[in-house]
Amino acid sequence: MEPSAASEFRVEHDTLGQIRVPATALWQAQTQRAVENFAISGERVHPEVIRSLLLIKRAAAQSNGHLGVVSAGVADAIRRACDLLLQGDLQQEFPVDVFQTGSGTSTNMNVNEVISTLASNDLGERVHPNDHVNASQSSNDVFPTAVHIAVLTRVERTLLPSLQNLLNSLRLKETEWAGVVKAGRTHLMDAVPVTLGQEFGGYATAVSLGIDRIQATQQRVSSLPLGGTAVGTGLNAPPEFASLTIEKLSQDLGLSLYEAPDHFEAQGGQDSLVECSGACRVVAISLNKIASDLRWMSSGPAAGLGELSLPALQPGSSIMPAKVNPVIPEVVHQVVAQVIGNDAAIGFAGASGNFELNVMIPVMARNLLESLDLLSSATLALSEKCVRGSVAHESVLIANAERSSALVTALVPLIGYEAASRIAHTAQANGSSIREEILNEGLLTATQIQSALDLLEMTKGRSDLPNH
């Protein structure tokens, strides 16, 4: 490193020549070129990817030291530098835009250079970003490995716990409202009765299946490209390097990681990330259904369904003082839209691999990690700020169910389809109830009507009525 005439800069060099770097920056020439080349979005690479790269570099240094690729002193200096970065708040040292060279080389070199600077200062001799920090590695296998680890970490530590929290909330409501009868609805039209508990049980099962879907993708995401180096052949890496490094990573992270059985597949395509994104899309769609139903049931309170009250979190209008809106379900809808959009981008990116490399990995990482973060936060909000505090208006629910002409369905086995249809149309025309009209026509006794139109029993799918 050579000081420049301007004290706020120093001069670094790489294979393309010299370049000015901010004097206090820990990065070096290749990072600076990336900062200048990729002024695209102003959005930096996700911190979890940086953290994963640091973990990989630390484990790789230990493996390289053990295998004699680098000296013990260099390996220890790299390890200490990684520990410092992992423990400190040095995110400002990783300024590269998320939209960059498609292999993630710029971010890989950014991490290599920052480690190199710290390790060199620690050791008192040059620790080279390529020859030492990047030894036995290539951006083409290291960066996607970091993305896989970042995704696994986010799934395990944020998304799955959030989904489990929502599942628990929904199961509590399923139990609480097991005996609360309401009108069923199909096509947004009256249908035979259900219980509010049954509806929330359905929501809970959807979330449970979503958890299963996400978990099913993780075994394949746990397959790491590390060890393939540039094209999948493993050139310049000792045969034992990948297994040693992945074993260390598994121990550090508490994850069951393994080396990809086919490095050409692992680097040429990114199907496991596409699969994980697809599972996130399904979860998002399930959440949208739940949020939509909550909005419908809480609509009103006077001119809507008014069957539920959701927690009042904030005033709903700048002009209408009485308004309180279903803000959390609305947030969920927006998150769902974003996740579906992210999945579309990930699918396109996943289809863009050529030969031994997919050069769309940075945008896949950006969108998938955003989806995981958004789903985690929105799911937790839906659970804690909406579902848990929701209140059922039982009188409204039962009144809506009693008014429904769909109740006549339970009478079909007793009076036949055509008579039941006539009764329903008459009740609708007169604004009367099914009970009133069937009694008026004298088709059944009051006792028979009471038995046949027991709403709670109807929710149990009774099949013991005699045929007409």
Sign of CA dihedral 408, 410, 414, 418: positive
Whether the CB-CB separation of 427 and 435 falls below 8 Å is answered with no
**Which one of the listed residues 7, 187, 318, 395 is annotated catalytic?**
187
Q: For residues 66 and 59, give the distance between their C-alpha atoms in angstroms, rounded to a whole number.
A: 11
In the residue annotation, 187 being an active-site residue is answered as yes
Exactly one of 41, 317, 425, 468 is catalytic; name it. 317
DSSP label at residue 45: P
State the amino acid at position 371 in one-letter form: S
Which of 365, 410, 415 has its CA nearest to residue 153? 365
Q: Which residue has the tokens 């944020």?
A: 158
CA 253 centroid distance within chain: 20
Strand-pair category, 223-224 with 189-195 = unpaired
Element (H, E) at 83: helix 72-87
8 A C-beta contact, residue 209 and residue 36? no
End-to-end CA distance of the chain: 96
**Bridge partner list, 2:** 11
Residues 6 or more apart in contact with residue 395 via CB below 8 angstroms: none
Q: Is the N-terminal amide bond of 413 cis, ω within 30° of 0?
A: no
Catalytic residues: 187, 317
